[in-house]
């Protein structure tokens, strides 16, 4: 049942393994509907900015914070 195993893997966050809904994958995932970050391991602000699609945000660096 390899197909089922693949499907189950697609249903999970690639970072923490938490289950994510198909709606979330389509809305926030990358071009293959894979979710790199989910509400369990990142904040919504980052998810909507692209972290769920695999973009690693560098806007919140410590250098900017200590300005």
In the complex, the residues that contact Zn ion under the rule CB under 5 A are: 13, 15-16, 18, 38, 40-41
CB of 44 to Zn ion, least distance (A): 12
Closest distance of CB 52 from Zn ion, Å = 9
Name the DSSP class of 54: T
Q: Which is nearer to Zn ion, 32 or 67 (CB)?
A: 32
Q: Strand pairing partners for 26?
A: none
- Residue 35 vs 67, nearer CB to Zn ion: 35
Q: How far apart are CA 45 and CA 23, in angstroms?
A: 18
CA separation for the pair 67, 61 (Å, rounded): 10
């Amino acid at each position: 049942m390899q197909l089922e195993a693949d499907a189950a893997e697609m249903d999970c966050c690639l970072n923490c393994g938490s289950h994510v809904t198909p709606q979330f994958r389509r809305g926030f995932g990358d071009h293959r509907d894979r979710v790199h970050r989910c509400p369990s391991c990142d904040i919504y602000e980052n998810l909507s900015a692209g972290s769920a699609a695999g973009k690693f945000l560098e806007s919140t660096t410590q250098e900017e914070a200590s300005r």
